[in-house]
Amino acid sequence: MKGYEVERAAGMPLNANEDWRNLPETLVRKIAAAVTEVAFNRYPDNDATDLRAAYAVYLGVQPTEVAVGNGSDELLGLMIGLFCGRGTLMTMTPDFSMYDYYVRFHGGTVEKYDPTTEGMAGFIRRIRKTRPQAAVFSNPNNPTGHLYTRDEVQALLQAVPDIPIIVDEAYMEFSDESVVDCINRYPNLYVTRTLSKAMGAAAIRVGAVASGAENISYLNRLRVPYTVNRMSQAAGVAILSEQALLQERITETIAARDALRERLAGANFRRLAFTPSGGNFIYGRALAGQDVAAAFQAAGYAVRVFPDGGFRITVADAETNERIFEILQMVEEAV
């Protein structure tokens, strides 16, 4: 199989949906103090007791209802391998490319659904018809930013109660339609989260999955041990304890996203089209073959582009967002 290739960007990175700011200095000092207490000669706490407890408080669930991993990627890979094996995984198109990688790594197949015309209702019908071993989708969607409502996701869970449904909420802090509070209502529900996006802590590679206690016990028994190192556990606990501070930054990011999106909507572009986004990014399509990547690269920025003409740009500070708009204007006006 083809291996997964990490994109190596030249220029200011607007391609990975990272926070444009480092963590606040007060929080960095708190993490540094916690790391000084780490016993480097000892293996990590395999149960990640403190980190799971902190994540449980943040998500409003019990520690027994949370498993943590080396980023949510590890947990997604674990669940796809366990649920699907050599079977079929249903997902959407476009969606997070790692879903494809994990299912093919285990020798399974990917069934993709395009929600453009029939939305969640069509996704439900397709799952009922094909009966995959599991289904996974990002909400808000990566890369389009499309957001499904709680009611839509719950309709899916009710329609196929015997099929594991993984809802990847990596960007849900930038929206408000989470179903994490539904994990005990739907035994087939698994919700993943990460500290890499809204929390601005991509460097430490910490993610979580919330589900019913029996489901989490099963995952914890079968996952690889010691995947979250002691330093990341300590940092994760410190970060999750400072939600008031981080929520201010999340609010700033949402405001920056919405301001840029409104600016683009008001520009009446004809060669570029943009869709509403529930993430910390904007998504657009080049309708006439403009080379968006080349324009940004020439200006010293890296953005994510897709073979079908789509492109995704991480929002940033006001000055950078103004530059993003200017570059897109130049792309629009290019002959």
Amino acid 195 reads L
Count of alpha carbons within 13 Å of 105, Cβ hemisphere only? Answer: 15
Per-residue confidence in pLDDT tens, the chain, 335 aa: 666 666 666 679 999 999 999 999 999 999 999 999 999 999 999 999 999 999 999 999 999 999 999 999 999 999 999 999 999 999 999 999 999 999 999 999 999 999 998 999 999 999 999 999 999 999 999 999 999 999 999 999 999 999 999 999 999 999 999 999 999 999 999 999 999 999 999 999 999 999 999 999 999 999 999 999 999 999 999 999 998 989 999 999 999 999 999 999 999 899 999 999 999 999 999 987 778 999 999 999 999 999 888 999 999 999 999 999 999 999 998 85
Cα 261 from Cα 321, distance rounded (Å): 10
Count of alpha carbons within 13 Å of 257, Cβ hemisphere only? Answer: 28
Per-residue model confidence (pLDDT) at position 3: 66
Per-residue model confidence (pLDDT) at position 11: 76
- Pairing type for strands 304-305 and 301-302 reads unpaired
Cα 142 from Cα 232, distance rounded (Å): 25
pTM value is 0.95
Structure-token pair, residue 253 = 């990011």
- Pairing type for strands 66-69 and 207-210 reads antiparallel
3-state secondary structure of 320: helix
Per-residue model confidence (pLDDT) at position 32: 97
Helix (H) or strand (E) holding 126: helix 119-130
Per-residue model confidence (pLDDT) at position 131: 97
Yes or no: say if 264 and 325 are a contact pair by the CB < 8 Å rule. Answer: yes
Instruction: Indicate the burial class of 285 (C-beta count within 10 angstroms; 0-12, 13-18, 19 or more).
Output: middle
